[in-house]
Structure 1
Amino acid sequence: MASYHFHLTQVKRSRGQSVIAQAAYRAGEKLYSTYYGESSDFTRKRGVVMAEICLPDHAPREYADRETLWNALEWAESGRKAQLAHSFDITLMNEFSMEENIEMARAFVQEELVSRGMIADFAIHDPVRPKGAEPNPHIHILVPIRPLKEDGTWGIKEKKISVMDEQGNPVLDKNGKQAYRAVSTTGWSSKEMLIYLRKNWENRCNEKFKEKGLSVRVDARSFKERGIDRIPMIHEGPHVRAMEAKGIRTALGNLNRLISQFNQIAMEITVLKSWISEKIYELKRQMYYVQKPTLAGYLQRYYDERNRVARTYQYRSQKAMNTNLKQLAETIAFLSDENIDTPEELEQRIQELSSRGHDLQYDLDEADSLIQEMKKLIKAWDDYETFRPVYEEYKNKFFGKEKFKKGMQKN
């Protein structure tokens, strides 16, 4: 079953993000940031089908090199909380071959992004998936928010214009000076642009479905926009798709699965963050000299040290070592099930889960709002059922209506 997912976020310094690290992850490469003086190495990442940079005609040719491009952008942004790049995450269609998906992705990037003057660094991922789960091929696109001028130098993202009232007179600020507002120089970040791009991707997918003689279609609109009285589902990951494949399709099941998935993700984020903060830093510091270490190797060394300490206990030494063995086995099994081998992959999974958790929280808020409305309707109906007999008795009285009314008010 075709699944539509077209999500846009920003890479921001205010979130502690580096656009070099983001680009390295998407391309599965090792890139060095001259801005931060550190490398991001994702050369062991699996599932990267392809990665390439598409340049508009006026862009310097050296920006075809990923490290050169994103280092130039980092240095062009001076603000501590600067927005660096737009990040698109777009699901590809399992009904199309990988070659067809790549062709469609390239056409979208060239015709809708690069033709507007944007530089687009895009990659296609086809992640290793759990047994029984549907494939989840998708696109990552990084686009600098700051535009390039025709001479190949970086331009400005916003300009200030005077604020005028309805009569065309200048509006003053609280200090009595001319008020200004910031306006994008490109329109790339506008809501209208996002709506257009989402609709454009919908059209491209549906045209391809029609070309292949398939009846399936996708729709970029939300359930609410389509007038469907239903709590919207989130974009399905591999685990949810595996459940759907078992035939669980009821409306109540959808809501329960949404809540269950949110709780599961929230729990995983809490556990993983705690584990990261308490263990990863220490493991990296102590075992940095190990050539290309894995998380399993880190864990084994860590628990070997814990067992060494446990043997010095006067009491319950064996119990402590048994607990360590159980924790080691459970953690390695979890990492194996999730196809996580390195600290970098674990950190990236945390970011992905945080993003999914944010989307799920939004859906749960909408679901809760609908439930509250339903509760109000149910209460109104209960009140109606309670007082209807009294009203019927009052309506059928020919004499003594006022007396009956006053008696009811006293009660």
Structure 2
Amino acid sequence: MAIYHSRVKVFSRSRGDSAVAAAAYRAGLLLIDHLTGQRHDYRRRGGVVETICLVPQDAPDWALIPGELWPKAEAAENRKNSVMAREFEVALPHELNDEQRSVLATAIGQALVARYGFAVQASIHSPGSRDGLNHHVHLLATTRRLTSDGFAEKTRELDGGASGKIEIEWIRHTIASTINEHLAAAGIDARVDHRRLEVQAEDALARGDFAEAMVLSRQPTKHMGKTATALARRGVMTDRAVENARIVRENEEAFEQLLAQAELEGRATLGSAGHSHDQARRDRRRRVGATKDLRSSVPGLEIHGLRGMHLSDALGRAAEDTQVEPPRPISELVTEAAADLAEILSVRSDLALTATQRLIGQWAVRAAALIDSADLRRWLNGLVERLGRLKRSVLKFAQRSSAVGRAEKLFHLAEQAWEQFNGDHPRPDGEWSSQEWETRRGRRLAVLEKRTAELATARAAVSEQHWNDYENEIELRTAEVEQWSEKVLASPELDITSRPIESVKAASAAPKPSPMPMPMPAPQPTRRRPRP
């Protein structure tokens, strides 16, 4: 479910930070710091979905070009301890699709720009974790407001003190409200809560929801940076790791105290049939240290940052004291296969997947009534695996095509800035000296040349040869999926999937089910996909 996470970070010259480097890394660009001459090239990094630049209405056009904005932001600060940029990192709900997350990130950025008048570069990143849920956006903001004349006064209200606390609370509330509005607009029931855990726990107690209060009544662990995380993987205990271990122990003690309080007050929070408080303790100990991201089955309840405990434990799920996890439900496998197929066909509706559509359609209709068996699991897992390979192949070229669109957008911005400069300042005038005019003109030309090269590289990645290789790969993957689906449809031991639901339910009591003819629905029409 959706979780709330936001973090504010500043980039200070006293720590050796660079706003240009930060912008290049987050957007996957090549940017040059004109103060130092250093090139920050992150064009090869992956995971950057989209970058959106937002500025006030009357801001100069160059503020929309990262290659000009961030070097100017650096140059506007002349102190050795200056703060050159501020970042707002926000988790985006994985329940939304890419387009909806882009609209959400833009709305959050617009709210910040409207209140503070600075420039924002919003870079959306795809999940770097195995679970595929960590969609997030880095909103990199200048520390100075922008007017028609360029950079103006600094946003001191965000620097700290009483005003800083008020502004941070406004930002957190605005982010949560905006996320919830977009979740509601998408028809998703999940909601996020920006309030502190202790406040949420107090509300849960006031509602009489002791189980939720138990989950929320915990001290959050401290954020582990890249260096500390790498050291922890090698078995080196840093101060932050030691502190987190202490927090985990204290949370364990608090959990025991809450259990004792529940026993004294006679609250039946964990006392469902077959699941005593002792069982709850065993389940909790068994799961402490687990690294899986936890999902809540209670709508509206967050479990962000809590490791080692499933909410179902707090709600009294009976479970054996074993570390073996149950296999995924058949219905979940069917849902995953159907979702992968839908995503594939949304991109490539011309693919001949008739047998696969027919098979998944039969399974989807009877998902709740399918009888679990080794054969069914083998066929289903094989289909999910092959569909996953096909989906990755299909999306690979689609992502390259999107990269061309992004490169074209950046090229046109650079071209517009170049043409506007030459139109407004065809030769040195009284505003600048000849040397400064040459520098400014050369800077725009360098950006245009870089964007031209980037566009050529992006277009080369979707050349005719790449297209042919891509088509051959897609054809191979499609054939693998279809052959597997045809084998499943022809398998006599799985002919049960073609019977009416009533027959499927009755089959569990019958020793030898008699097969029935499989219906043959008409194939779905397909459309030719236009060549890029």
Taking structure 2 as the reference length, the TM-score comes to 0.40
Matches within 5 A, 1:163-202: 190-202=164-176
Pair 1:269-2:269 in alignment: no
Amino acid of the structure 2 residue aligned with 1:269: L
CA shift, 1:184, in A, is 6.9
CA shift, 1:208, in A, is 2.7
Structure-2 separation of matches of 1:71 and 1:91: 28
Matches within 5 A, 1:268-307: 268-269=230-231
Partner residue, 1:137: 135
CA contact (8 A) 2:144 2:154 kept: yes
Q: How many residues are matched? A: 250
Partner residue, 2:120: 120
Amino acid of the structure 2 residue aligned with 1:142: L
Partner residue, 2:414: none
Partner residue, 2:45: 45
Pair 1:76-2:76 in alignment: yes
Amino acid of the structure 1 residue aligned with 2:191: R
Distance 1:50 1:271, change over 3 A: same
Structure-1 separation of matches of 2:192 and 2:134: 16
Matches within 5 A, 1:13-162: 13-114=13-114, 116-130=116-130, 133-149=131-147, 151-156=149-154, 158=156
Structure-1 separation of matches of 2:218 and 2:245: 9
Partner residue, 1:389: none
Structure-1 separation of matches of 2:80 and 2:45: 30
Higher relative contact order (CA 8 A, sep 6+): 1
Unaligned runs of 5+ in 1: 159-182, 231-248, 275-353, 378-411
> What CA deviation, in whole Å up to 9, does each residue of 1:203-250 have, x standing for no partner?
1222233333333221011211223599xxxxxxxxxxxxxxxxxx9x
Partner residue, 1:277: none
Pair 1:212-2:186 in alignment: yes
Q: Secondary structure at the match of 1:148?
A: strand
Matches within 5 A, 1:344-363: none
Distance 1:115 1:362, change over 3 A: farther
CA contact (8 A) 2:47 2:126 kept: yes
> What CA deviation, in whole Å up to 9, does each residue of 1:19-53 have, x standing for no partner?
11100011101111112221111101111111121
Structure-2 separation of matches of 1:265 and 1:122: 25
Distance 1:138 1:153, change over 3 A: closer
Structure-1 separation of matches of 2:32 and 2:174: 35
Structure-1 separation of matches of 2:154 and 2:224: 40
Structure-2 separation of matches of 1:264 and 1:31: 23
CA RMSD of aligned residues (A): 4.4
Unaligned runs of 5+ in 2: 205-211, 259-532
CA contact (8 A) 2:145 2:154 kept: yes
CA contact (8 A) 2:116 2:145 kept: no
Amino acid of the structure 2 residue aligned with 1:194: I
CA contact (8 A) 2:25 2:42 kept: yes
Amino acid of the structure 2 residue aligned with 1:47: G
CA contact (8 A) 2:9 2:86 kept: yes
CA shift, 1:109, in A, is 1.1
Q: Secondary structure at the match of 1:26?
A: helix
Pair 1:6-2:29 in alignment: no
Identical aligned pairs, as a percentage? 26
